[in-house]
Amino acid sequence: DTGVSQNPRHKITKRGQNVTFRCDPISEHNRLYWYRQTLGQGPEFLTYFQNEAQLEKSRLLSDRFSAERPKGSFSTLEIQRTEQGDSAMYLCASSLTPTGRNTEAFFGQGTRLTVV
Amino acid sequence: AQSVTQLDSQVPVFEEAPVELRCNYSSSVSVYLFWYVQYPNQGLQLLLKYLSGSTLVKGINGFEAEFNKSQTSFHLRKPSVHISDTAEYFCAVSSLGFQKLVFGTGTRLLVSP
């Protein structure tokens, strides 16, 4: 297994356009998380899935953002009508359902979004 | 709700010197604690974690951290740093359900020869 994979690594888009990012988690992991990291800040939680169910969404996830995990495997994060404030690194992570010592999240390398 | 404070935004240190990166957290419930490292334009790599048991936790690359419940701290230490340790370090906390991680703002460790 090569770990959590995110595509694309970089995306430049014009304001007002829609963008979609993909995350492929570690294959046996049933939890998948999305975070956003702006320059000079720590990652901020956006949402997470247990299998295909989206169990929690941050208030940071405005109605322009939508995430899906249709078959409990890969996930997509779509941003509609992008704004310059959406420019950030979008990080995906995955984990097993925590039971004791396996409690940890593995992160992908992120997708850097630049809105011009 | 949980929060994490990393008071030092940047820590300069000479190679082979010891270093401590400070982390304090706030939570009304029991927590798990983590330290992650991030190299430029990369994702986060787990250095170490405290789940339960011994309060002194050893991680990868010679790092260790000590959980202090009374002081709500989880400081990261390394007895002798290398140039390659130059990176951003993030402390994070989660509730025992591990639904999400709450991160601090990070500490940039700058190791010079």
Tokens at residue A59, please? 């208030």
Question: What's the mean pLDDT in A71-92?
Answer: 96
Question: Does A106 contact B42 at a Cβ distance shorter than 8 Å?
Answer: no
Question: What's the mean pLDDT in B26-54?
Answer: 92
Q: Give pLDDT, residue B42.
A: 83
Question: What's the mean pLDDT in B79-103?
Answer: 94
- Sort out which chain A residues have CB atoms less than 8 A from B46's CB and list them: 104-106
What is the bridge-based pairing of β-strands B10-14 and A106-107?
unpaired
Question: Does B100 contact A91 at a Cβ distance shorter than 8 Å?
Answer: no
Question: What's the mean pLDDT in B108-113?
Answer: 97
- Sort out which chain A residues have CB atoms less than 8 A from B100's CB and list them: 33, 45, 48, 56
For A23-47, what is each residue's pLDDT tens digit?
A: 999 999 999 999 999 988 999 999 9
Quick one: residue B29, left, alpha or beta (phi over 0 = left, psi -120 to 50 = alpha)? beta
Mean predicted lDDT score pLDDT of chain A: 94
Model confidence at A1: pLDDT above 70: no
CA angle A47, A52, A54 (to 5 degrees): 30
Residue position matching structure tokens 């939570």: B27
Model confidence at A102: pLDDT above 80: no
Mean predicted lDDT score pLDDT of chain B: 94
Question: Does B103 contact A42 at a Cβ distance shorter than 8 Å?
Answer: yes
